[in-house]
Homo-oligomer: A and B are copies of this chain.
Amino acid sequence: MAPSLKMFFFLLSTLSIIPPSHLQHPLDSLNPNEFVRVQAIANQSYPFSHNNLTFQYIGLNEPDKQPLISWLEKLNNLPSPPPPPPPREAFVIARINHETHELVVDLSCDEIISDRVYEGNGYPLLTFEEQIDANRLVFEFAPFLASIAKRGLKVEEVVCESFTVGWFGETKRTGRIVRVMCYYLDGTVNLYMRPIEAITVTIDLEAMKVVHFKDRLMVPVPKGDGTDYRESRQKPPFGPELKRITVVQPDGPSFTIDGGRVRWANWDFHLSFDARVGPIVSLAAVYDTEKQQFRRVMYRGFVSELFVPYMDLTEDWSYRTFFDAGEFGYGLCAVPLEPLRDCPANAVFKSAFVSGRDGMPIEIPNVFCIFERNAGDVMWRHTETMIPSGLVTEVRPDVSLVVRMVSTVGNYDYINDWEFKQIGSIKLTVGLSGLLEVRGTKYTHKDQIHEEVYGALLAENTLGAHHDHFLTYYLDLDVDGESNSFVKSKLQTVRVNDQSSPRKSYWKVVSETAQTESDAKVKLGLDSADLLVVNPNRRTKMGNFVGYRLIPGSVAGPLLTADDYPQIRGGFTEYNVWVTPYNKSEKWAGGTYVDQSRGDDTLATWTSRNRRIENKDIVLWYTLGFHHVPYQEDFPLMPTISTGFELRPANFFENNPVLKVKAPNVNIRWPNCSI
């Protein structure tokens, strides 16, 4: 969760002030110029020379929805001159003289137009710099050095990481503290497999001093052999080598990227980036060939929050209950993608900017890749044998568009795919890879273990801790417009009692339109229902409401008790599906201030107001999850495991939107190629 200083300089060295090469879209991420201006504007109000000011978060203050939609609609008429866009604003969360300030900066007139001190519970996103400082500070703390020496470890091989501390019912506020845990390198890069257990250093980030230290007990550090995953360090025997394989597009890709705007096949959407949530897809519209126009599907969508609670209740572990977006920044933790490995050969890459603690822009190169996916799947087919004149076979292969970003939050790598399909679906997939958090232990064989160890023994001295991952997606679907409803098409068994039918049962659909927020809360797995966001003001020619269906993949729900502090903080995971009335301030499901939050400002608390959500601008929230019982295959690094869900047209179109897609005529023969 904190990069080394060296990487930091690497990132800074690639900084360049890039003037916008395209007309800026109101939803574009802040560009480097804008970060610099925010910094300068803040300096004017709070001169850095005698104010203690750190920028914890700088992001686009998205324009109000209605004015933006009006402006976009006006633009469609190609007026001359074009109407001015909504003003660019930045939303800033800064720590100023040990207070949390929320600033709104108007970038058109270079002014702070709002400056509010937040006095509630919780603290902002952590910056990389303060984590690096904290991680380094321990090495100036004599008792820590003594603990390292006591264990016979070489201090120059120790690296440390900052962990958020959560909240466990304390009434007093502790200030912004982290717990620093340390790991051992000494010949491997896989620090996470070599925890130096039971040394906990608590550091006050703002005083930048150690406020608590505990060396609880001595536990063997797992050995480094077999933990390194670098190719250069592997010894035979190696895995089987496959023959070369790649994707080719002789005429280039089918998509166009114009600034933040991406167009491909029948899709048109805007892509931006945010330090807190990572990728944001906005204004997604799909072209209706019959109606000869683009139709709105989703106003804005992104990963709102993650909740990663560990189930290890040993003293040094029990607090580990992380919120990767609100505490560490899902976008801030995004990493450059490797061409030909993270993304296939036909991918195009885009960079994005985040800000450092000092407000200066930092480029994350290749943070997105965009590519057409040619997995060999079938979009539709039928073989008809009943036609007297002969066999009829029609098949259309599936090609889709993928937008990918990887966020590496410390040990875990989250591979995020937004996949746009010609049939009008958006498929969201998250793949988990990277490294487990493991606890060092004296045990070297399962048979030695007769106590609860809260995990599985993966290797000698190495327990893979049980934990969960929940990702909550914010999905402001605007199906053919903002006024939508959430409908549960419940499949209900009907018992047939009369003798008229040889059947005794069937299922029917009972449609329930959610009127208030409590109607829309869904725990998946219990009932059978199709879940739809419909536009009750728009019907197809057949009279069905136009809509989109949410199709879950594998499902998981929380197993912590509702009163457990992390579960209170992560209350947005209680249901897999929630629907709220659109409210611009409700976007971060765990609240704005998640570090040490107390659960008083989450999606769960907002929806307890039970507001009306029928035929209104509504937002769909979807939580998927994994319960992770580690297996030895996850050692020393996890093969990707994926899950996801689909947003699929449901009576949105009058009929199959890809019926009239022509079969491709691709017959590219390799022998005519040279390498």
Instruction: Check if A140 is an interface residue, CB within 8 A of chain B.
Output: no
Name A622-647 residues within 8 Å CB distance of B.
627, 629, 631-642
Q: Chain B residues near A392: list those with CB within 8 A.
A: 189, 230
Distance of A378 Cα from B641 Cα, bound (Å): 10
A52 in the interface (beta carbon within 8 A): no
Whether the Cβ atoms of A408 and B382 lie closer than 8 Å is yes
Q: Find out whether the CB atom of B245 lies under 8 angstroms from the CB atom of A247.
A: yes
In the complex, A268 Cα to B312 Cα: how many Å?
39
Once A341-B397, A656-B637 are accepted as A-B contacts, the answer to whether A629 and B542 lie under 8 Å apart by CB is no
Name the CB-closest residue of B to A646.
Answer: B641
Verify if A344 is at the interface (C-beta below 8 Å from B): yes
Q: Are A248 and B168 interface neighbours, CB within 8 A?
A: no
Pair B251/A542 contact, Cβ less than 8 Å: no
Q: How far is the CB of A550 from chain B (nearest CB, A)?
A: 12
Q: A174 contacts which chain B residues (CB < 8 A)?
A: none
A250 contacts which of B244, B552, B635, B664 (Cβ < 8 Å)?
Answer: B244
| B contact residues around A234 at 8 Å (CB) | 659-660
Which of B342, B396, B507 touches A381 (beta carbons < 8 Å)?
Answer: B342
A90 contacts B by Cβ under 8 Å: no
Give Cα A650–Cα B301 distance, bound, in whole angstroms.
Answer: 35
Contact with B along A385-412 (1 / 0, CB 8 A): 1111111111111110010001010000
Please report the C-alpha to C-alpha distance between residue A162 and residue B127 in the assembled complex, in whole angstroms: 69
Closest Cβ neighbor of A157 among chain B residues: B388
- From A460, which residue of chain B is reached at the shortest CB distance? B542
Encode contact with B along A1-24: 1 for CB under 8 Å, 0 otherwise: 011101100100000000000000
Say yes or no: is A431 at the interface (Cβ < 8 Å to chain B): yes
- Measured CB to CB, the nearest residue on chain B to A493 is B559
Which residues of B are found within 8 Å of A667, using beta-carbon distances? Answer: 340, 345, 675
Which listed residue (B346, B375, B458) contacts A373, Cβ 8 A? B375
Interchain CB contact (< 8 A) of A668 among B231, B246, B265, B492: B246
Could you tell me if B649 and A501 are in contact, using CB atoms closer than 8 angstroms?
Answer: no
Q: In the complex, which of the residues A183, A444, A565, A631 has the most CB atoms of chain B within 10 Å of its own CB atom?
A: A631
Contact assessment for B504 and A563 in the assembled complex, using a CB-CB cutoff below 8 Å: yes
A191 is an interface residue with CB less than 8 A from chain B: yes
Q: A313 touches which one: B315, B342, B501 (CB < 8 A)?
A: B501
Among A159, A287, A651, the one with the most B-chain Cβ atoms within 10 Å of its Cβ is A651
Q: Which of A205-213, A273-281, A350-358, A449-457 contacts B (4 or more CB under 8 A)?
A: A449-457
- Listed stretches A107-115, A235-243, A599-607; interface member: A235-243
The CA-CA distance from A249 to B336 in the complex, in Å, is 27
Q: How far is the CA of A554 from the CA of B506 in the complex (A)?
A: 22
Return chain B residues, CB-CB under 8 Å to A663.
231, 341
Q: Which residues of B contact A343 (CB under 8 A)?
A: 376
A503 within 8 A of B: yes
A345 lies within 8 A of B668 (CB): yes
Binds B, one of A25-33, A76-84, A96-104, A523-531: A523-531
A662-B530 Cα distance, complex, nearest whole Å: 44
Contact A658 B639 (CB under 8 A): yes
Q: Which residues of B contact A311 (CB under 8 A)?
A: 506-508
Bound complex: CA of A552 vs CA of B501, how far in Å? 35
How far is A648 from B632 in the complex, measured between Cα atoms in Å?
12
Interface residue A68 (Cβ < 8 Å from any Cβ of B)? no
State whether B668 touches A564 (Cβ < 8 A).
no
Residue of B nearest to A188 (CB): B387
Alpha-carbon distance A571/B241, docked complex (angstroms): 45
Interface pair B638/A380, CB less than 8 Å apart: yes
- Which 5 interchain pairs have the tightest Cβ spacing? A446-B543, A168-B502, A673-B673, A525-B525, A3-B385
Known contacts A509-B629, A637-B656; can you find 18 more A-B pairs with CB under 8 A? A7-B390, A10-B390, A189-B387, A238-B289, A238-B661, A244-B251, A246-B668, A336-B383, A382-B434, A444-B542, A466-B506, A491-B627, A504-B565, A505-B564, A540-B632, A633-B656, A636-B655, A673-B674
* CB pairs A–B below 8 angstroms (8 shown): A379-B639, A382-B637, A446-B543, A457-B542, A507-B559, A631-B649, A633-B652, A673-B674
